[in-house]
Structure 1
């Protein structure tokens, strides 16, 4: 991995998980896909994660055929952005499937200039730890790997401390995104990395329900050392992104000062409440992708909430919940920022 990219990753940046733009008829909307990428760059994101859960895993289906086109389009926009940046964007691509598929996806990411693969293990739902570790080693031999603890309610699987301790021993692992939405399982990952002595594995929160607390907490190890979560790689940060970038900076400053204001903790609760509406927590996250799309639709970035799978729609009452958090937390929204630049992004 390029030194400048690794420095940015280790410092901790905001990495939104990139959604997929479709027309109302269900066709790929390249114009709005580009607009989304431009929005994230303009909002101050330090990287992008493409081809991940928020992008919809179904882009890989043979009848859809959007995996490479979506990755390539994002690369074009990131190339354009990096031409005027001093710090390169961290380019993360999703990797999933069995070992053969995952290795092929890793090779594609490398060919397209992506820096790391966010490795989902959902396809190996019944595999034992030996099989999982062998799979991860095979992918890490091709591309630097970011581990991914995805919550089971949206397609992930339970992963033990013992697995994460072995995973942390893989030389090609550069970071881990922790998104089990579970304190105990998050601690399993942090403890495993610390017990492995891997100071070079950077921790990122994917716990969209606990963003601020993750970012301001010093996690203690058995030897008296502390580990902190550097940044966020989050579906939640696909919306209201300019505010998310500012929030990350505030959390990092508080963490460095070892002084977390009560007001920042209160903001964390507000963010979690907003996430409950966007991700449809009331209905076991059934509308999580459609909820993200709905916020982007309201801002004009997307034309529709349509997803590739017809069952992925807003749940009953979810739009009302999004209305509620908009009213409750207008200071978290970045609608004015989007409105000021939308025409330029859509060109």
Structure 2
């Protein structure tokens, strides 16, 4: 029998949460900095994140390389910190692990996640990008036999395949699908996923934005479709984002504001205008962090730079020594930090950083 989500985790995932995609803390010689890796986990829990995604793009896919050998150690370290956070907080964090590769590898990674107590796997389809829908769906079903799935529509610019409405409609029929991270950076393809879920009748599949260029827009927009004799409305309830791996305390406040604005009565024009203004600021900041001007070449180093400034990381080192900030990216990060002081959580981190690093 495949693993199932614990009811409390399922409820929290459906309600909506901030789920940062965890970076990898390294020393100057590019070895795991266990002290700072643990500090990152503690930061996210203290900031109010509802979960954490480990072993995903922001954690660097190279952790799987045999010469690196960090996949299981990083997952296990995070699981230990999850246990501590759950004991302190009284309710479980949503534990998501990244799953990559062709079917044999993906099933093996899902098994590792299950054995370490992870709740769900974020399934990348990059390795089966050249297959047809039938083969891709078979791949998904095989992994779902081990662990609940978080589907993943990854943008084409970084290796994601184009996935049709028909694919997502069939994907939504897989029993062990818990959520979908929608990140094609494309409004047409985003609509394909939401409509497919709405028309499937599955109200237990949570929609999470990964559209870094439209985070707030996704979170405040109603998506309504005619289904049968009526209308079905679906909304994005949270985000599973590398962008939320930094300034996380403020991301939690932002999601709370989006939830408040979209629950109950229609939000006032003032609230709506405020959130739309914030949407532009968040997108501008994301462009700097993720190095949109250079095809996202510096996206991981950009996040590391924010965490380095806050003292959570010692440096911006990546596993690939050639990976770093792009020309002009540091100036852009300086600009958005200066322009939008209300988006950063520097004071919060400064207040608690030493405890996270020392505990």
TM-score by length of 1: 0.99
Structure 1: tracts of 5 or more residues without a match? none
Q: Residues of 1 paired with 2:113 and 2:217: CA distance?
A: 32
1:258 deviation in Å?
2.7
1:158 deviation in Å?
1.5
Say what the alpha-carbon RMSD is for the aligned residues: 0.9
Equivalent in the alignment of 2:162: 158
User: Is the Cα contact below 8 Å between 1:291 and 1:314 reproduced in 2?
Assistant: yes
Residues 68-107 of structure 1 aligned to structure 2 (within 5 Å): 68-107=72-111
Q: Residues of 2 paired with 1:155 and 1:74: CA distance?
A: 27
1:155 deviation in Å?
2.5
Q: Residues of 2 paired with 1:341 and 1:126: CA distance?
A: 47
Q: Residues of 1 paired with 2:47 and 2:290: CA distance?
A: 21
Within the candidate set 318, 322, 342, 1:311 is matched to 322
Equivalent in the alignment of 1:269: 280
**Are positions 1:64 and 2:68 aligned together?**
yes
User: Is the Cα contact below 8 Å between 1:17 and 1:48 reproduced in 2?
Assistant: yes
Partner deviation per Cα, 1:114-157 (whole Å, 9 max, x = no partner)? 00000000111201101000000000010000001111222322
Within the candidate set 27, 33, 36, 2:37 is matched to 33
1:309 deviation in Å?
1.7
**Are positions 1:258 and 2:262 aligned together?**
no
**Are positions 1:339 and 2:350 aligned together?**
yes
Within the candidate set 278, 284, 293, 1:282 is matched to 293
- SS class of match (1:175): strand
User: Is the Cα contact below 8 Å between 1:219 and 1:226 reproduced in 2?
Assistant: yes
Within the candidate set 210, 234, 244, 1:227 is matched to 234
Q: Residues of 2 paired with 1:292 and 1:155: CA distance?
A: 20
User: Is the Cα contact below 8 Å between 1:8 and 1:87 reproduced in 2?
Assistant: no
Structure 2: tracts of 5 or more residues without a match? none
User: What number of residue pairs does the alignment pair up?
Assistant: 347
- SS class of match (1:36): helix
**Which 4+ stretches in 1 moved above 4 angstroms?**
none
Equivalent in the alignment of 2:202: 198
- SS class of match (1:307): coil
Q: Residues of 1 paired with 2:280 and 2:135: CA distance?
A: 39
1:320 deviation in Å?
0.3
- SS class of match (1:301): coil
